[in-house]
Amino acid sequence: ELMETTEWDKYGTGNYEKCADCMVHSGYEATAVMDAVRNPLKALRVAARGPRTDGPMAPEISLENQRQAEFVFRRHVDHAMRRIAKTGRIDKVAETAE
């Protein structure tokens, strides 16, 4: 359900403030892993010499039109913090967000 109902175009570098510095969920990490599997000698060379840091690079993605971060879990965190303060313990089983 999450995969079908999420508006994925609202997320990713340049679209959402929380995604500006993250390179994991936007496919960058998966792309690097796939490239390493397809080109093991290239991966070995990068591991031995380090990544190339000079020469032409991919253009920067504009962050000008990204939407501000939404902090939707604040109520859940506040509830959990009150419960911890009251009971003095942290439950190992997570509660469902209300």
Q: Is residue 8 situated within a structural domain?
A: yes
Q: Which domain holds residue 32?
A: 2-54+61-68
Q: Which of 33-42, 55-64, 74-83, 87-96 has the lowest mean pLDDT?
A: 87-96
Confidence of residue 47 (pLDDT cuts 50, 70, 90): very high
* Helix or strand holding residue 33 (H, E): helix 28-38
Inside any domain, residue 28: yes
* pLDDT tens figures, 66-87: 999 888 788 888 988 999 999 9
CA distance 90 to 98: 18
| Tally of domains within the chain | 1
pTM of the model: 0.47
Is 90 contained in some domain? no
Q: Is residue 97 part of a domain?
A: no
